[in-house]
Amino acid sequence: MDLVVCVKRVAEHAEAEFEVDETGKKLKVKGAAYDINEWDDYALEEALRLKEALGGRLTAVTVGDEDSEEVLRKCLAKGADEAIRVDVPTEEMDAYAVAKVLHRVLKKLNFDLVLMGAQASDDGYAQVGPILAFLLGVPHATLVKKVEVLEEWIRVHRELEGGAEEVVELRVPALLTIQTGINEPRYVSIMGLRRASKKPLKVLSPGELELTSEDVGREGSWARLVRYEIPRVEKRALIIEGPAEKAASFIFNLLKERGVTA
């Protein structure tokens, strides 16, 4: 089975600080480490497991500048056979523009299954997968939490609202967006990353994919960013100091004032 996994480099937001620049259209990220998107990491692991069980070839693809190559190196270190980066800045690209770029890459590849994360942690749009499937003309399923390979079909379990689960069968080739928790992504060692750093990595320009300025960037997007806004802090936490008895009395009186207790 020939597989393709689409990955994205994102900032790990938990320990980061954000500021909006003077234009209101760019975020200044302070103290953030960058890594493969969490959902994409689960998609990569699922692709690796399918490759190990069924054989075939796994290609990792990303869109972005040279910094994005670090996530492709991670894919190679974990077991991907080939890695492709499309050298297009994604700052002003919406999901449709990114999907168009990926579509041009995948048209040049043989694949039975395309896997990618259900969404990206930096924007949360969850649109690239379905748009890409439409452009490729293949069936797709989103929020996949289990994959079973049949002969010319795959059976997938989808996570729905309220804990419900849907089981559908798709004819291959197909595209799946993967939900977190489907597996346990494997650890990649420092030595594995060093070996991966020496492996060839293909870089494609927009021209090689017959993409023009009208296909990518701001011009190729259907949605445009208007501005970022940092939420305003309107209420702050009340810190109660002093001995426990005093604090308990204060809390009791506060609840009584607000009608919570009689």
204-226 pLDDT, tens digit per residue, is 999 999 998 888 888 888 888 88
At 18 the three-state DSSP class reads strand
| pLDDT (average), residues 121-150 | 94
Q: 3-209, superfamily in CATH?
A: HUPs (3.40.50.620)
| pLDDT (average), residues 165-186 | 95
- Residue 238's pLDDT is 78
- Token readout for 216 is 């990518």
Asked whether 9 and 37 are in contact (CB, 8 A), the reply is: yes
| pLDDT (average), residues 48-56 | 95
| pLDDT (average), residues 68-97 | 92
Provide the percentage of residues in the chain whose pLDDT is more than 70.
Answer: 99
Residue 93 in this model has a pLDDT that exceeds 80: yes
54-64 pLDDT, tens digit per residue, is 999 999 999 99
191-206 pLDDT, tens digit per residue, is 888 888 888 899 999 9
Residue 262 in this model has a pLDDT that exceeds 70: no
- Token readout for 45 is 């692991």
- Residue 71's pLDDT is 94
In this structure, of 61-65, 121-125, 175-179, the range with the lowest mean pLDDT score is: 121-125
What DSSP state is assigned to residue 8?
-
Amino acid symbol at 4: V
- Residue 261's pLDDT is 74
Residue whose token pair is 């949605």 = 223
CA–CA distance, 11 with 29 (Å, rounded to integer): 8
- pTM, two decimals, is 0.84
| pLDDT (average), residues 15-27 | 79
If you write DSSP's letter for every residue of 169-235 in order, what string do you get?
A: EEESSEEEEEPTTSS-PPP--HHHHHHHTTS--EEE-TGGGT--TTTSTTTT-SS------PPP--S
Residue 131 in this model has a pLDDT that exceeds 90: yes
- Residue 156's pLDDT is 96
Q: What average pLDDT does the structure give for the chain?
A: 90
| pLDDT (average), residues 19-37 | 82
In this structure, of 38-47, 106-115, 135-144, 240-249, the range with the lowest mean pLDDT score is: 240-249
3-state helix/strand/coil string of 68-111: HHHHHHHHHHHCCCEEEEECCCCCCCCHHHHHHHHHHHHCCCCC
Residue 233 in this model has a pLDDT that exceeds 80: no
Instruction: Give 261 or 154, the one with higher predicted confidence.
Output: 154
Domain residue spans of the chain: 3-209
| pLDDT (average), residues 107-119 | 96
